[in-house]
């Protein structure tokens, strides 16, 4: 009953934030005009709502929910409370792909060039991580984290090289993209983020009991019939696919996947069937609030959303360390 109440409150809160994200911006819109536009109204304000602000708000909802869910599964699979979607080189690989397009090739495939290159970079990074841990012969969580960090630094170095060796006039675009932003939001790109969210939520729903067993330790999980190595590998693959889908549109938005699982577990307990749905709602709400802040803090200039989430994340980690101490 308590969980149902929290989920209901969370759903209402996310819907309210969705309306607020549409109405609030460099040019505030009346709430009545927003609702009228969503009902099919006509006019310039309706076009701003339907063509610009609604897809952006929906993208924030999808990416926030997805990153929160990815963080939940990675923290359990690696048994590391500080694990998040960007610990394993996924964001660095996607950033390298996007920067390569911005500074070297240009839009060879039109508007799909940047998302496609970022997605390919993220999947390439995940493939390298899996190859490393396979060659090392140890697929435990510690080796997975170390391999991810190594690949992350490798792709960061490649990204920095491309920035300095490429077209310097594109430096601002590169900086904004690597710090995260929702400026690419369009109706035709939303299915990419929706596919990432659907994949990670479906995986969490199917294997939530296996993740619960893993909380008791690897030996206990194996006695309960869980193939820990396969579960960890499949978790990484699904998380890599989902994260690459998100990063390919929104850029690198840090700390959402780290913060959200801690808050959801504190509210709903450690069982994944309970706290993962709540984490998705909290992640969606967090990114909607962050997007509102990024568009209004320096209006009419837009602040990269990654600056907002990183600032909040740093305070969160300090609070977490102080509480544990």
Q: Which residues, 6+ apart, have CB-to-CB distance to 131 below 8 Å?
A: none
In the CATH hierarchy, which top-level class contains the domain 2-324? mainly alpha
Cβ distance 63 to 287 under 8 Å? Answer: yes
Are 305 and 290 a contacting pair, CB within 8 Å? yes
Q: What is the pLDDT of residues 178-221, one digit of tens each?
A: 788 898 888 988 999 999 999 999 999 999 999 999 998 888 88
148 neighbors 88 (Cβ within 8 angstroms): yes
pLDDT of 139 reads 55
**Which residue has better confidence, 18 or 109?**
18
Distance between CA atoms of residues 248 and 157, nearest Å: 19
Q: Token digits for 292? A: 């509102």
Percentage with pLDDT > 70 across the chain? 93
- The CA angle 101-107-110, to the nearest 5 degrees, is 135
For residue 84, pLDDT over 90 is answered with no
Give per-residue pLDDT as tens, 16-33. 999 999 999 778 888 888
* Percentage, residues of the chain above pLDDT 90: 35
70: CB partners within 8 A, 6+ apart? 84, 85, 200, 239, 242, 243, 257
What is the average per-residue pLDDT within 166-188?
Answer: 77
- For the whole model, what pTM was predicted? 0.91
- Identify the residue with better confidence: 273 or 42: 273
- Assign 303 to helix, strand or coil: coil
Enumerate long-range contacts of 78-83, CB under 8 Å, 24 or more apart: 78/141, 78/144, 78/145, 78/232, 79/141, 79/214, 80/141, 80/145, 81/262, 82/258, 82/317, 83/145, 83/258
Highest mean pLDDT among 48-52, 97-101, 146-150, 165-169: 48-52
Question: In this predicted model, what pLDDT tens digit does every residue of 125-149 receive, in sequence order?
Answer: 888 887 877 776 555 677 777 778 8
pLDDT value at residue 146: 78
| Whether the Cβ atoms of residue 89 and residue 158 lie closer than 8 Å to each other | no
User: Distance of alpha carbon 177 from its chain centroid, rounded?
Assistant: 14
Reported confidence tier of residue 302, pLDDT bands at 50, 70, 90: confident
Q: What is the chain's Cα-based Rg?
A: 20
Find the distance separating the first CA and the last CA of the chain, reported in whole Å: 33
Contact 105, 118 (CB under 8 A): no
Residues in the chain: 325
What does the pLDDT read at residue 207? 95
Report residue 109's pLDDT band, with 50, 70 and 90 as the boundaries.
Answer: low
DSSP structural state of residue 304: P
């Amino acid at each position: 009953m308590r969980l149902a109440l929290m989920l209901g409150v969370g759903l209402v809160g996310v819907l309210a934030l969705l309306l607020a994200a549409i109405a609030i911006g460099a040019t505030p819109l009346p709430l009545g005009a927003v609702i009228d536009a969503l009902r099919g109204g006509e006019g310039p304000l309706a076009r701003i709502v339907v063509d610009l602000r609604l897809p952006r708000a929906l993208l924030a909802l999808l990416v926030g929910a997805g990153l929160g869910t990815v963080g939940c599964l990675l923290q359990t699979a690696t048994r590391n409370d500080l694990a998040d979607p960007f610990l394993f080189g996924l964001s660095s690989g996607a950033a390298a792909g996007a920067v390569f397009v911005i500074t070297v090739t240009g839009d060879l495939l039109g508007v799909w060039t940047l998302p496609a290159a970022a997605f390919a970079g993220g999947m390439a990074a995940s493939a390298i991580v899996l190859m490393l841990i396979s060659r090392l012969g140890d697929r435990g969580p510690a080796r997975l984290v170390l391999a991810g960090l190594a690949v992350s630094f490798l792709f960061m170095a490649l990204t920095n090289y491309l920035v300095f060796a490429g077209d310097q006039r594109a430096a601002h675009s590169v900086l904004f993209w690597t710090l995260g932003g929702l400026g690419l939001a369009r109706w035709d790109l939303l299915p990419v983020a929706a596919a990432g969210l659907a994949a990670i939520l479906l995986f969490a729903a199917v294997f939530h009991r296996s993740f619960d067993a893993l909380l008791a330790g690897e030996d206990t999980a194996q006695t309960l019939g869980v193939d820990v190595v396969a579960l960890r590998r499949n978790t990484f693959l699904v998380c890599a696919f989902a994260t690459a889908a998100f990063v390919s549109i929104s850029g690198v938005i840090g700390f959402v996947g780290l913060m959200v699982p801690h808050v959801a577990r504190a509210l709903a307990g450690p069982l994944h069937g309970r706290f993962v749905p709540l984490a998705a709602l909290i992640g969606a709400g967090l990114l909607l609030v962050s997007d509102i802040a990024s568009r209004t803090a320096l209006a009419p200039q837009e602040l990269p959303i990654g600056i907002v989430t990183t600032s909040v994340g740093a305070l969160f980690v300090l609070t977490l360390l102080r509480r544990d101490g």
